[in-house]
Every structure is written in structure tokens, then in C-alpha cells.
Chains A and B, each alone.
Chain A
Amino acid sequence: MSYDARFKVWRGDAAGGVLQDYTVEVNEGEVVLDIIHRLQATQAPDLAVRWNCKAGKCGSCSAEINGKPRLLCMTRMSTFTEEQVITVTPLRTFPVMRDLVTDVSFNYQKAREVQAFSPPADLQPGDYRMQQVDVERSQEFRKCIECFLCQDVCHVVRDHEDNKTSFAGPRFLMRVAELDMHPLDTADRRQAAKEEHGLGYCNITKCCTEVCPEHIKITDNALIPLKERVVDRHYDPVVWLGNKIRRRSS
């Protein structure tokens, strides 16, 4: 069942690096992260890689495999042929720290720029009432494991470093949409979506949706509806508030 696979792994740091060749054993049922760990244990003890849960739940192990943004722990070796050379490189959009580890602090900055959940001031803990159908839309976006693969693949920042200041990226535009659709959020987020988070840069290529390991329909369910709401000319703040706040009747 075992065979020797050929790997090319990017080794280096901020100053530069190279693709290094390795030949390494692969066993049945293994994922790429298993192979990286085997490299650490046998041939490259100082190979840097980020990971945590090894179950696709934490979003730490993001990298690019044969050029595609993927989770190392959820990419099974059986998806490659035994002859195929497998190339593992760090996320391209973020600065390299070392080997497969990148500096993802961009994402944490963007997270901080999205105005927090703003519940009605007089609503007490224990009195929140929401219907399942009303929370489901936002729940889909809350499946996000913050792997930042969508942030990595989106061409707006992948190919244009200077857009980083004015564009939050699909993950955080989706966060704006999530709060906007939260049945009890009282903030109006439309203007900010456009002016602060750069919703206008997105030209709905759907690349983000394609790489999302949680299969969240980022473009269709978050970004497009948000765009529609932003351009809605008949926006009437009173109607909007009335639609949004659903209180316990008792």
C-alpha cells in the first residue's frame, strides 16, 4: 500500500527561498499534512508549517498545493497519482515568514475594521427571540473557519498589493453581510460596505467560493445580496428598521 512520492516544498524566508525536492513515503489514507509531518520527523526537522486540529476545523494549515489554495489536512494523497510531483508552497497573497508559514495579520486588521454586532440597547440576555429561518442565512457565513484561502485567491489583492488598504476581502465582506442579515443587528452597514470595506472592487468572479473548504456560497449568498442592498435606491431607513427588528411579543 505504501509508495514513495516526490514532493517539491518551498523552503525559505522573507529574504527569498527555493523549491526543495524530497522523496517521501506515503501510506494508505494519508493527507498532505501527514507527509509534511513525516518530512519534519525524518528529513527536515526545522520545516515550518502551521496546523492545529488536523480535521479541517481550525483553518490553520492553509497553503497552495500545485498552485491551488487548499487545506493541507483535508487534501488526501489519493487525489494524486503515484507518479505526480506534488508542489507545496505558502499562500501567495501574504508575506512569507518561513517555509509554509505566512504572515496573515492583514486578516486580523480587517476583522477589526468591521463594526461589531450592535444589538438593541434595551434587549436583555435571555430575551433574544429569533426564528430558525431568519438565522440560517447568517449561520451559513458563521461556518467560516478563517482559513483565509478566499482572501488568498481573490485577485483584487492577490495581484494588486496596493488594494490591501481599501479592500477587506471576501471573508470580511461576508462578515459585513452576516451582520447585515442578523435579525437583531441595528446598525446600517451599507455605506461602510462600499466606502470602508471596498465592496465595489469585487467583480463577482466567484474564485473565493470555489476554494472555500466549508463550501460557503460567498459570492452568491453574501457578496451579491450585499451589493444589491447597497445600490438599492429606494432605501428607506424606517422600513428597513421595521423589517429588521423582530422582538418577542410577550
Chain B
Amino acid sequence: MASTFIGNYVDSKMLRLKELLLTMQEFFYFALRAFSTLPKAKRYWRDVLDQALICGVESIPIVLVSSISIGALMSMEVGNLLEEFGAKTMLGRSTSNAVLRELGPLLMGLMLSARYGSRNGAELGAMQISEQIDALRAFGTDPIAKLVMPRLLAALIMFVPLIALSDFAGLQTGALVAEYYHKIDPGIFWNSIYPRLAPKDFVVSFLKAPVFAIIITLVSSFNGFSARGGTAGVGRSTIKGIVASSGLVLVANFYVSKIVLDIMH
């Protein structure tokens, strides 16, 4: 009795593992196909443009909100801390590390995963369960080229200026908080940043843009394409997509920083 119970338990774990591996393999093919259809961008330029508007222009507010709050928070908290050590002149430097390299991109990634990822997941999931994706295939259009590639390309292009915007707004807010809250002269604030800014700061920051773009669009699109079982199924697959892409954004955020900083010291 007990042994069959354990046997069943192990069996079911093995089955879950097998399913997971199969899903990962499917995802890998899906990603490959999305990249291999990039040359069709010219044909679907209108879709690319539409998606660029959605993930780029329409994401500006959310990116501003997250970068401003990070910039303000870091400047305020770190300023208080540095004051204890009498090192307030270092505030710019400490804020810029957080804003440019770590928390700025991370929060932006999470926000975009919630915004752009959920939109993709729900939209493509609804198309899947209403058989619109089957219809594309039935009439001779590759749904990955028509639906996924434009989303991927748009995100690859637009996330870069979004990161730039996030960096700029975060630092600017940090400077403002430094000036009005900590009474630090903006010149001193910026002076502790500029001379020490190194290429690696920008590499870390801007490398996260394409990495997040790939994770967010491919994971959410894949989950949309896998939606089954009516409207409830769309809800389930959208959630799965957001959870998975947010988790991967967290992990990738760490590793991009680590790898780049290891290489560039």
C-alpha cells in the first residue's frame, strides 16, 4: 500500500518532469522559429509598427513611473545612509549604480512583463481558442511570422530607448531629491557620477533591453499559443506567461550584471 503510494508519487513526479522537459523543448523550437522569421519583417512592417507603438510609446508612462520611483527612493534612502558616514558627496555615484545597472532595468523589466507580456498572452490566447491561429495556418500564413515576429522585433527595437528613458528619468529624479531633500548641490551630485561612469555601466544597462525583450515577448507569446480550454484557459495561460517571464527577468537581470561585470571588472 505504502509502496504503491510512493511509486505513484514518484511516477507522477517523473511525468511532471517529462512534461516540463517537453514544454521546454517546444519553447526552444518556438523561439528558433520566431528568430528565423525575422527576415519577413519587411512583409509585416505594419504589424511591427503597430507593436512598436504598443510596447514602446504606450509603455512610456509605466517606465517613467517605475524609474522615477526607483531614482527617488534610492537617492532618499542612500542619502540618509551616506549622511551618517559623512559621505553625502558620493550620493550621485551610489544612486547611479542602482538606477542604471540594477533596480532601474529590473523594475522596468517587471513592469513591461506585466504590461506587454499580459497583453500578448491574452491577445494571442484569445486568438488561439477562437481558432484564429488555426485559420492563419489553414489559409497559408505562418502565425509565428505574422504574430510573434513583429512583437519580438518591436520589443527588441523599443526596449533600448525605453531603457535610456528609464536611466535618464531615474538619475534626474535622484538629482532632484538630492537637491531638495538632502540639500546637495546638483553639480556635486552629477560630478560624482560623470567621471566614474564606465562603459560597463552602459553595457549592463543596455544589454538588459534585448535580453528582457526576448524573454518577455517569447514567453508570453508561447503561453498565448498554448492556451486551451476556453476563456478560463486564456486566463490560466496568461498568468503562467507573466509568472514565468517575471521570474526569468529576475534571473536574467542578475546574470547579465554578473557576467558583464565579471568580464569588464
Do A and B actually bind? no
